[in-house]
Structures are given as C-alpha cells and as structure tokens.
Structure 1
Amino acid sequence: MATYSRLPGSVALITLQNPPVNALSAAVRQGIVDTVQRALKDPKVTSVVICGQNGKFCGGADIREFAGPMLGPPLVPMIHAIEAVDKPVAAAIEGVALGGGLELALGCHYRIAHSKALLGLPEVTLGLLPGAGGTQRLPRLIGLTAALDLITTGQPLDPRRLSTLPCPCPPDVDSLLDKVMAKVRQRSRGALAPVACVQALRAAASLPYTQGMEKERDLMTTLFNSGQARALQYAFFSQRVVGKWSLPSGASWDNSTARTISKAAVIGLGTMGRGIVVALALTGISVVAVETQEKQLAEASQAVPAMLQREAGRRGLATPPGVISFSSNLQDVSEVELVIEAVFEDMSLKLQVFRHLTSVCRPGTLLGSNTSGLDIDQLAAVTQNPGLVVGMHFFAPAHVMKLLEVVCGPRSSPEAVATAMQLGKRMGKVSVAVGNCPGFVGNRMLKLYLEQANFLLEEGATPQQVDEALEEFGFPMGVFRMSDLSGLDVGWRIRKEAGLTWPGVESTRTRQGRRYSPLPDQMCEAGRLGQKTGKGWYQYDGPGGRVARSDPWVHIFLETYRAEHGLVARSIAPEEILERCLYALINEGFNILQDATAAGPEDIDAIYVFGYGWPRHHGGPMFHAGQVGLGRILERLHHHHHNHPDVPHLKPSTLLRRLVAAGSPPVQKWREFINKERVHSQL
C-alpha cells in the first residue's frame, strides 16, 4: 500500500509500504495512483514527495506476480501520469531503488538520493529489460554510454549521476551502438535480454520519446513470454528454495541450531586453501592459516594478504575485517571453533590430518573438509565425534565463486550442517546441502559429461568442435578448454586413485566393465597438462600463455589412437555433441534425485549455474530438461544408449521414465512427485 500525509505547509508525502523492500505489488501501485490523485485534488498541496518505509525507497516489481495475470494499475501508465502532473513530484531515495522502483523515480520531476543508496535496473538478469520507461528515460538523464553499460549488465548506478537535465547523444551514435552490440552478443553467449536492451537504447537515441516507448514495449513483450525469461526467473527463485536447508533425505533442521563462528582455521594453503582463508576473513572471522610446507607457507603469507586487500577494495571495504595469522604448526588450531581442511585431494593424506585434528582440537570443534568428491563418512570415522564432520566443497577461486556444496555424511549432525550452511550464507555464497557419494552432485554429474566428450573424440570429433558446440549453447568455455585451464593432471590423479588408469581385464578401452577412454591419461603421460605447461588439448601463447590455439600434434595423436584401436572417424554434428554431453549429465541428475543425493531439481540447477558455468538463461540442467521436454530427453537417451550399449550412463533413469509416464509435470512439481514416490517405496 501507499500512505498519504501532508507535511507542515504545502508538501504531500506519499510513503510506499510493502516490507521488506516496498516492492511494487498490485496494492502498492493502486495506493500510488490513489494518493497521487488525492494530492492533485488538495488545493493546499503545491508539491509531492514519494518515499519508502523503513529507509528503503523501492525494490522494484513483485516478481511473484509474473507467474499469473497482472492485477492492479499497470506500471507504465502510472509513471506517465506522475510525469504529467502539474505539481512538482520528487522521489526521496534511500536504501534501494531497483528496477521498477528506479523507473518510478525516473518518472518523477526531481530525484534526491542518499549517497549510499543502491540504484539499478537489474531486469536483464531476469531475462527482461526495464519495461517501464527505463531504457528511454535513463539515457536522457545520464547519457547513452553510461546507460548502455548499466542496463545491459544490471550493474548498480552511482546516485550522483542522476540529473534533471536532458543529456544529449554522443557523436557517431550508430558506430558506438554497433560496437556495443558486438560486445554484448559475445558476452551474453546467446542470452536474448542484453541484445534487446541495446535495441531499446538504440531506439532512445534515434527515435522520438513516444516511439521509443513503443519499441521498448514491443521488446519487453517478446522477452516476457520467452523461455529464457522463465529460466532466469526460475534460477532467481531456486536460490531461495535451496536456502531452506532441507537435507537431501528430506529431513530439515531449525536454523537456531547453527553456531556463529568467530574463529576458524584452514589447513593447507594451496590455491583452494588461500581462497578459503580470504573468504572467511572477509566475513570478519579471525583465521589461523596453517601450512606445514615452509616454501608454500612463505608464498601464502605474501599472497593471501594481497588477495584479501584486493577483494576488500573490490567490495568497497576500507580495511579487511578479519585477522589472519600464519603457522606451520597444527597445534595452533587448538582454540578455534571450526577447522576447514584444504590439503591435497588424497584420502590417505586427509585421514592423517583428521586423525591429528581430533587429538589437537577441543571436543566440540566442527571439522570441515574441502574435498571435491571423497567419502566424508570415512573421514568422520577417524574422529572422536563424527557428528561434527561435514564436507565443505568450495569452488576456485573460493573467495569469488558463489557456490558451496555442504556435504552431509550419514552421521553429520543437524548442528554441523546448519553451521556450514549459515557460514556459506555469511560469505555471500549459495549453499546447497548434498548427500555423501563419490563426486557428490556437481562432480558426479560432471564425470559423465567429460566421459562423453572424450568418447566423441574417439569417434571423430576434434576438441574445437566439441568446445564450439558447448560454447554456442552458452557455456563460458567448452569442456576441453576448461580441462586445460584446471589442469589435466587433476583428474588423472583422481582416476589413478580410483584404479581406473591401469590395464583392464577386457581391453585397453574398458575399465571395471564399462567403456573407458584413456585419451586424457595419455595426454598427461605425454606431459601435456594444460595451460600450466603451455600445451594440453590446445597449445597456448599470447599474453600470459592463455590464448588457446589448435595444435596439429593433437590431431595426429587422435588419428594415431583411432588407427591403433580400429576406430573409423565419422562426421559428428553439433546436435549430437550437445545431446551426448548434456543429456548424459541430465540423466545422472535424475539418478541423483532418485537416490536422494539432492533434495530437489532446484538444488542441482543452483549447483550447476553457480559452480559449473551452466548458462543462466537455460536455468540449469534439470530446468533445461523440462524446457526441451522429458519425452524428448527420454527418446534421445534411448537412441544414444542403443548406439552405445557399453555406456551405462546413457541408459535412461528410472525417475525420468516415471516422470514421463506421469505426464511430464513441470520442474517445480518434481520435488513433490519424488517425495510421494518415495513414500510409496516405488523408487
């Protein structure tokens, strides 16, 4: 709603009231219309001020209304009516003015903003554009160049840049817009909304205001009804669903059981450990950073403070809030409340650390392991209190990446899991609770994605062809560029520990009864470990040795491999590349839901959007399956499994079959369906 009052004198005050951010719900819009009319009819009122309750102007539209028919006064005519009144109207902005809230302020005659207010038009992140005049009014107030950057990225606006005066277009507008469009198309990787934003701003620069508004409306209508908008809005709400913190098994806990951590320790100061130290310190936690290798400790003690200072500056913090102390002695963690182990991904080494910690730490100390796929229960078994052990799988760089997989071992207590989840939230991360199995959720699915990519090379594809298909879909980089970046030896060590790289009993291309491609192992044996060695699936040159180029050696290597194994190369279409890689990954997602390693499809999708570069405008792998059609996914998996019967993970999941038999309900209904199936013991 919106309340009306008259200040001493002749100023009418309209206050938006809709906690927590005064979103423009139907009731609020109706309240604005009614109170503005009241101010116009009051002869004692000569001016109007619009503000928000509790120090927040307006957080924008109520996104929940997007799912159904729009009720109440439309936003665009309401803002036009405010702009047309003959009494001056000023927006008093503090806290936030986002989306439709900022568009409301732009429609006022004057704007008065607190210097620390957060202003922005983030509609592009929801697959939309500012559809209430934002693309037409903002460039006229702050200039086309600034408006282009803000509207196409959704980044916040410095409130000091707002103006009451028209801002003329820069010279050579067409050339500027062409360059921006090329940049936006490259950056957006198939997302429609950023491109539509540029088109709307081109209309602002080249058409009269009324015609520009018509163009904005047409573009908004197209976007609003698009699958990408639904995907991006689904991704937005998925963060809130996974934040409810239910265990994959269906159990949940009260947030009151979470401890508030003030002092923590990190064991191991490699790349991941350093990032975790910085992430903790940025929340104000005092951190004991431990590294037993003297050289590594010396390097970390120089690198970590610099990382912390840079990240604090990026976040607008004058000084980093947390205190970090460095040590080579594990005894120095005896007084902390939480220890996060981040040593090399080797079970024997991690067991050694946990045995030592259980003798050094106080009895109630929480123990977390930054493992990407090892058995949490095995680690917990060597401690005195297994219930206080959880997995905390960070993603590199840990102080930047948004995802935290919180791994619930079979004996992990609700208190330990809740504490890890809440700590992730404090660090600004999307925390997702997952079950304990090899690879958990993200890497368990990724393994099959990688395998399919390797099989495609055996059958005739090149690394460039596979990567190009995946990047065209929207991934920031394809599977082979990604492998080169992370280092081919990382997966090689994991496969060695799993016993997959040694000769199998059937053939060199079969391991443990299933098809296995030794191509990545042979690359490592040849010393081609990726960017760090200058050669992997690509060769690297340019600044910092980071520019990937096709390597003739790899083509000869693949031809030789195929000849040795009697494989005849065939032409592989981009469609098959996408189906084989993505549908194998999606199928494993259904298996994960079926065995309760993840609580629902939103958990899987949040993991892939925030941790694995899944293009946000496709919602996530499980949402994408629903968009493609579960029947279509099932049919294509049947097809590819028939062609490759030695690849078990192409066999359609039982849960997928059941969902199709049930009429392919929308993804938002899967959690309910799975729970009902589980109750009846049908899965």
Structure 2
Amino acid sequence: MAQFGVLGSVGVITLQNPPVNALSAPVRQGIVDALNRALNEPKVKSVVIFGQNGVFCGGADIKEFGTKMSGPPLVPIIHMIEASHKPVVAVIEGSAFGGGLEVALGCHYRIAHSKARLGLPEVTLGLLPAAAGTQRLPRLIGIPAALNLITTGRHVTAAEALQLGLVDQVIDHNIIVSAMRFSQRVAGQPLDSRRISTYPCPCPSDLDAVFEEVMRNVCRSARGAVAPFKCVEAVRAAATMPYAEGMEVESKLMATLMNSEQARAMQYCFFAQRAAAKWSMPSGARWDTSKPLPVHRVAVIGLGTMGRGIAVALAQTGFPVVAVETQEKQMIDAKQAISGMLERGAKRRGVAPRLDGISYSKDIQAVAEVDLVIEAVFEDMSLKKKVFQQLSAICRPGALLCTNTSSLDVDHLASQTRNPELVVGMHFFSPAHVMKLLEVVYGPRSSPQAVATAMQLGKKMGKVNVAVGNCSGFVGNRMLKPYTEQAFFMLEEGATPELVDRALEEFGFAMGLFRMSDLAGLDVGWKVRKEERLAKRGSEAGQAPRVRGGCRYSPLGDLLCEQGRFGEKTGRGWYRYDKPGGRVAKSDPWVHSFLEDYRVQRGLVARPIDQQEVLERCLYALINEGFRILEDRIAAKPEDIDVIYVFGYSWPRHRGGPMFYASMVGLPKVLERLEYYYQAHPDIPHLQPCNLLRRLVASGSPPVHKWSEVIHKLHSHL
C-alpha cells in the first residue's frame, strides 16, 4: 500500500511493501489514491514520495509476472505524477530499481541519499524498462549513458547518478527533512521544464555511429540474449520519434519479450537463486532454521590463487583474517598480489583499502584462536589430511574447519578431526573474490549448525550459496566431467577445437571449452589427473591408452601437456598466442596436424561433425549427470543445479540453467537423443539415460518445480 499524510504544506506519500516496497497492485492503487488526495487538498503545495524502512522502491513485484495483472497499470500512474500541477519530489534512499526508478523519473525532482543505488535491471530478467524508462532516461541523461545503463542493467551510486544528471541533489543525512524543505522551496514554481517526457532527446551528431558501436558491444556481451537488442531498439525510438510514438514502440517490444522463452528462463533464474537459500538436509534438519555459530575471526591456509582470493573476499567483508603460507616465496608473492587486489577492489567501490585486515604467518599455530578456518592448499588428499590433522589439534573447540577442495571427499577429511560434525566444504570458484558462487558441501556427519554457519558466512561475503552433498566433484565439477569428455571424444572423431568452441559460444557461453581450458591452464587438470593416476603414460611409442576401466577415455589433453603446451601461460595450448600470457586465441595448424596424426596412429577415421551434434552431446551428457545427481540426492532440487551452473560455470542466464533448459527443449527429446548417442557409443556410460529422466518422461514430463515429487516417489520405492 501507499500511505498519505500532510506535514504543513507538504503531502507525504509513503510506499509500504516490505522488504523493498515493490510496486504490487495495492501499492500502485495506493499511489493513485494518495496523489489524488494531495492534488485535491488545498493546503498541500508540494508532494514528496519516499519508501518506508530506508528503501525507495525495488521495482515491479516479480510475483505478478505471468499472472493476470490487477490494479492500475504503472505507466498511467507515472504520467499522472508527471502531469501534476504541484511539484512532486522523489526521495531516494536505499535503492530505486526498475519501476521504482521509472516512478522517480516521472517526478519533477529527485533527491538521493549518498548511499543510495539506482538502476534499470530489467534486461537481467529478459525484459526492458517498459514504464517509459527507455523513453525518459535518454531524454534526461543522453543516449550513450542511457544505453549503457539500460542494456547492462548495472546499478549506479548516488554520486554517479548526480554526475550523470539522473538526480538533482545528493544528501548525506536527514534526507527526509532536506527533501521536505526542498519541496517547500520549489512550490509554486513552473513545472513545464521539469517534465522529462517533454524534453527533446539530446542526440549526438554521429547518432548512427553511436548505435552501431552499441550494437557491436551488445553482440559481444549478450551472446544470444534478445533483451539487450530490444533495449537498443527502444532507445533508438526515443532518439528518433516523439515521446508518444516511442512509448508505443517500447510497449510492443515489451510484449514480445514478456512472452519469450528467454524471459521465462531469466525469471526462473531469479526465483531459483532465492530458492537455493532454503534447503533441508536428508536427516530432515533445516540448516536455514539452525542457529549459526558466531564467527568473528577467520583464517585461510595456503596462499595460492584460490587462497589469495578467499582472503581478499573475507577481508573486504570486514573480517580480520589470519593468512598462513609456509613457503617463503609463495608468501612474498601472495602479500604483493593480495595488496593489489584489495587496492583495486577498494578503488572500484570508492572506499579505502583494508590493507591491515589481513595478518600473515608462516606458522599454522597462528590459527589457534580463530572461529573458522578455510583450508586452500594444493588439491592433494594426503596434504589436506595432514592439514586437517594439524587444525584439529591446534584450533579451539567449536571452531569450524572448512575445505576449499573442488572434488575430494569432505567426509574423509572430517574423519581426520576430533569433531567431524564441524567440518564442511566451502568450494569457492576462481577468482574467489569475484565469482559469486559458493558450494557449501556437507558430509554425512556435518551438523546443520555447521552448514548454517558456512552459508551465513557466504551470504555476508555476497556469495550465492548452494548446499550440496558430498561426492567426487560435488555438483558442478561432477557434471563438468562428462561435458568435457564429450568434447575430447569429438576431437578424436573429427571435430576441431574451433568447431566445438564456436558451437558453445553461439549457444551463449562466454568461452568455449578449449578456449577456457587455455585460459585456466591445461597443466592444472593434468596434475590432478596424474595425482588420480588417470594420466599414466602409454608405451614407449607414446600410445596413450583410450580405455580406462572398460570405459572410453581420451588422453588428448595429457598428450598436449607432454608437449609443454599449457595454454595462455606458455603461448601454446589448443590455440596459439602471440606470446606467453597473450589473450588473443588464434587457430593453430600444429594442433590440427597433431589431431590428424593421433587419429592415424589409432586407426580412427575422421567424420563430419556439425554444431548441433556438439551441443547435443556436450549439453545432454551434462544434463544427464544432473539427473543422476538429483537421483543420488547430492542436490536437493533442480533449481540448485541451475544456480550452480549460471553463477559458477557461465551457463547463459537466458537459457535458465541446464535442468531448466532440458525442460524447455523437452525431456522426451533429451531422452531420445541420449539413447541415440549411447547406441552409437556404448563405451561411454555417461550417455546412457538416467533412470530419473526415464521416470520423468513416463510421468508426462512435469515442469521443473514438480520434479521433486517424482524424485520422492523414486526414493520411497527403494
């Protein structure tokens, strides 16, 4: 709702819909009623609009999406505000996002608190700002700046908003009092010059060139998402048409997007992210109703790439961090790298770097009094076991012991401690201070309180947390294995790295698999495989085996590493680079010859492989493993898997996540294509359709949110 009151000569409209005062039907109706009262009250000379609890408005109520809308539409409300003969001042505290900012743009003045943030994030939901955001914003701040905000959905600080001309004033404190006084000063002044819809759109002389450059940028960044292109079309209408005609274009474009599969996928992601925050363990205990342990001081063991990022993420959150590294050179390098990361991060956020937030030690005894430890040493079980034995002996009773392992058995590490119930996995993704995803891995002995503590810590760090069960690779990396294997197998059968990567990038991934491997470093996986004894050398002739445990195995990655080709760092990998450390990947004739020789030596005949086969084999193998993970109860629900892949593995958001994508493609089709490929390649077990997939198809292919019912029935019969 929206409450109305009068203070002196000022009408006060308060938006009330916690937690973000979303523009639900009651709120919209409340604005209309309150504004009518303000306009008809003779003693009211000006109006202010603000939100309760220090938040202006978070925008549309997303729960109304896909339902029959009730209550007054937003566009006429904003026109009503703008047409008011009494000045209306938007008082922006906290946030003004989406429809909230569009309401503010309909006001005659905008005053923001210094800590407020503003933005039009509709594009991240597969939509565009359809309450005149694409028409008013360009008229107010210009075409280039408006295009930047609308096509990316990024948020701006109050300071940047003032610089852009988006707000009229920025206030540090007592913003309500300041806004009331301001509204009294402008009462009675002419308002024609304050109605943004009447502004001519300030167009640069090279307007066509501006739009062409934006379209090129969108093509690079959108990777198949439609909404950014529609946003550009709508802003072009603002630049080239009268306001009323531009509004018609905006409305038509929004109607197209609202009914699109991409919008459904992106809105699904929005809700899936929130659903991941609620979870129950197999015991029935809910971590989200368990009281977390207090965490005031934390430690990180090991300052390689991951440890550095974790230490920075913790320090930026405000935790005092004890960083332990036993190797002298690694310690020196880490200190320099961490300082640089903290300084760059502080500069981006406009704050002073917390360089004193991390204390360094070469002695593991330094962690004795911390509340929580995150182990981030090299991915070697024997080394990690030793560390956990030491931590169990050193740390105070009740301290939570966490491992950043990406695939090793968390329960086995817990068995090395006195209190296995206080051991959980905290699998960060590199770079840990940037990537949003955190897999919180619980073992069979992990307590709900331990899970709750890790989840709360991740939330404080701004991570998207998903609680998952303990198995090799957990969820993300377990699913990645069959996806990667299929790409290698297709190289053996006749594909090239360029073909595979092009198919995946056109699907929407930021980078194809082989390009990403070069960036990450091919030697990283090689070392892991050698540790697991999966990368044994073949005969003296270099004939590495193609079978492991009766299943097909490709040694191509190992053979490439044996040539010293580790990716970008060496200037050679699946692609070539101008120099070691170079970033521009170029096709390498050597790799093509290497693949041809490999096939000849093993009697393999290359065949044509198209992009459709690449997508089906890579993606359906990954999805099939996702069904197995649900069947094994490693993930509680398909939404958790999708959140992991969107936030941790750059799965394109407009595809909704692998499990949602499977439902959009149609489960019968996924099943049929997996059966087809498994018959063609019976030595690849990952292609054999999972029992859960078969049961879902037999149950009529229910929507994603109904899968849990089938999973429950499956387990109830076991």
Q: Is the 8 A contact 2:570 2:581 kept in 1?
A: no
Aligned to 2:336: 302
Q: Could you give the per-residue CA deviations for residues 642-665 of structure 1, whole angstroms, max 9, x where no partner exists? A: 111110110111111111111111
Aligned to 1:612: 649
AA aligned opposite 1:450? T
Within a 5 Å distance, the mapping from 1:523-542 to structure 2 comes to: 523-541=560-578
In 2: Cα distance, 1:254 partner to 1:474 partner: 34
2:533 paired with 1:470: no
* Structure 1: gaps spanning 5 or more residues: none
CA shift, 1:145, in A, is: 1.1
Within a 5 Å distance, the mapping from 1:67-216 to structure 2 comes to: 67-157=66-156, 158-160=160-162, 161-162=165-166, 164=194, 166=199, 168-216=202-250
In 2: Cα distance, 1:347 partner to 1:385 partner: 19
CA shift, 1:544, in A, is: 4.3
AA aligned opposite 1:466? V
From 602, 611, 614, give the equivalent of 1:565: 602
Q: Is the 8 A contact 2:571 2:581 kept in 1?
A: no
In 2: Cα distance, 1:220 partner to 1:457 partner: 42
In 1: Cα distance, 2:603 partner to 2:262 partner: 44
Stretch of structure 1 that moved more, 150-159 or 644-653:
150-159
AA aligned opposite 1:74? P
Within a 5 Å distance, the mapping from 1:41-60 to structure 2 comes to: 41-60=40-59
In 1: Cα distance, 2:233 partner to 2:393 partner: 64
Aligned to 1:635: 672
AA aligned opposite 2:717? S
Specify the SS of the correspondent of 1:549: coil
CA shift, 1:92, in A, is: 2.0
2:686 paired with 1:649: yes
Q: Is the 8 A contact 2:569 2:580 kept in 1?
A: no
Aligned to 1:438: 472
AA aligned opposite 1:35? A
Aligned to 2:186: none
Q: Is the 8 A contact 2:568 2:580 kept in 1?
A: no
In 2: Cα distance, 1:614 partner to 1:112 partner: 39
AA aligned opposite 1:658? R
In 1: Cα distance, 2:356 partner to 2:26 partner: 44
CA shift, 1:239, in A, is: 1.3
In 1: Cα distance, 2:619 partner to 2:273 partner: 22
Q: Could you give the per-residue CA deviations for residues 510-564 of structure 1, whole angstroms, max 9, x where no partner exists? A: 1011000111111111111111111111111269411111111100100001111
Aligned to 2:20: 21
What is the root-mean-square deviation of aligned Cα atoms in Å?
1.8
Specify the SS of the correspondent of 1:541: coil
Q: 1:119 to 1:302 in 2, by over 3 A?
A: same
2:463 paired with 1:429: yes
Q: 1:572 to 1:352 in 2, by over 3 A?
A: same
Stretch of structure 1 that moved more, 75-84 or 614-623:
75-84
AA aligned opposite 2:39? L
Q: 1:140 to 1:507 in 2, by over 3 A?
A: closer
Specify the SS of the correspondent of 2:401: strand
CA shift, 1:503, in A, is: 6.7
Aligned to 2:184: none
Q: Is the 8 A contact 1:235 1:606 kept in 2?
A: yes
From 491, 494, 498, give the equivalent of 2:528: 494
Q: 1:284 to 1:495 in 2, by over 3 A?
A: same
AA aligned opposite 2:375? E
AA aligned opposite 1:675? H
Q: Is the 8 A contact 1:89 1:109 kept in 2?
A: yes
TM-score normalised over the length of structure 2: 0.92
CA shift, 1:187, in A, is: 1.0
Q: Could you give the per-residue CA deviations for residues 275-326 of structure 1, whole angstroms, max 9, x where no partner exists? A: 1111111111111111111111111122212212221232333242872111
In 2: Cα distance, 1:394 partner to 1:619 partner: 22
* Structure 2: gaps spanning 5 or more residues: 169-193
Q: Could you give the per-residue CA deviations for residues 151-197 of structure 1, whole angstroms, max 9, x where no partner exists? A: 11111233312264746211121111111111111111011111111
Q: Could you give the per-residue CA deviations for residues 118-147 of structure 1, whole angstroms, max 9, x where no partner exists? A: 111110111100000000001101111110
CA shift, 1:591, in A, is: 0.2
CA shift, 1:254, in A, is: 4.6
Identity within the alignment, % = 68
In 1: Cα distance, 2:308 partner to 2:110 partner: 44
CA shift, 1:675, in A, is: 2.5
Q: Is the 8 A contact 2:551 2:684 kept in 1?
A: yes
Stretch of structure 1 that moved more, 282-291 or 238-247:
238-247
In 2: Cα distance, 1:202 partner to 1:96 partner: 27
Specify the SS of the correspondent of 1:257: coil
> How many residues are aligned here?
680
AA aligned opposite 1:619? G
Stretch of structure 1 that moved more, 363-372 or 449-458:
363-372
In 1: Cα distance, 2:53 partner to 2:302 partner: 45
Specify the SS of the correspondent of 2:220: helix
In 2: Cα distance, 1:642 partner to 1:319 partner: 58
Q: Could you give the per-residue CA deviations for residues 8-54 of structure 1, whole angstroms, max 9, x where no partner exists? A: 13x32211111111110000011111122222333333332222222
AA aligned opposite 1:681? H
Within a 5 Å distance, the mapping from 1:115-514 to structure 2 comes to: 115-157=114-156, 158-160=160-162, 161-162=165-166, 164=194, 166=199, 168-247=202-281, 251-320=285-354, 323-502=357-536, 508-514=545-551
Q: Is the 8 A contact 1:250 1:599 kept in 2?
A: no
Stretch of structure 1 that moved more, 240-249 or 376-385:
240-249
Stretch of structure 1 that moved more, 442-451 or 482-491:
482-491
Q: 1:52 to 1:125 in 2, by over 3 A?
A: same
Stretch of structure 1 that moved more, 440-449 or 305-314:
305-314
AA aligned opposite 2:480? L
Aligned to 1:681: 717
Q: Is the 8 A contact 1:287 1:322 kept in 2?
A: no
Q: 1:298 to 1:238 in 2, by over 3 A?
A: same
CA shift, 1:469, in A, is: 0.3
In 1: Cα distance, 2:299 partner to 2:111 partner: 46
AA aligned opposite 1:294? E
CA shift, 1:257, in A, is: 2.3
Q: 1:322 to 1:625 in 2, by over 3 A?
A: farther
In 2: Cα distance, 1:51 partner to 1:418 partner: 35
In 1: Cα distance, 2:115 partner to 2:678 partner: 57
CA shift, 1:255, in A, is: 4.2
In 1: Cα distance, 2:569 partner to 2:579 partner: 14
Q: Is the 8 A contact 2:369 2:395 kept in 1?
A: yes
Q: Is the 8 A contact 1:249 1:597 kept in 2?
A: no
In 2: Cα distance, 1:12 partner to 1:361 partner: 60
AA aligned opposite 1:159? A
CA shift, 1:246, in A, is: 2.6
AA aligned opposite 1:574? Q
Q: Is the 8 A contact 1:246 1:433 kept in 2?
A: no
Specify the SS of the correspondent of 1:431: strand
Aligned to 2:171: none
CA shift, 1:86, in A, is: 2.8
Q: Could you give the per-residue CA deviations for residues 256-283 of structure 1, whole angstroms, max 9, x where no partner exists? A: 4212311111111110011111111111
In 2: Cα distance, 1:504 partner to 1:642 partner: 29
Q: Is the 8 A contact 1:280 1:322 kept in 2?
A: no
Q: 1:134 to 1:538 in 2, by over 3 A?
A: same
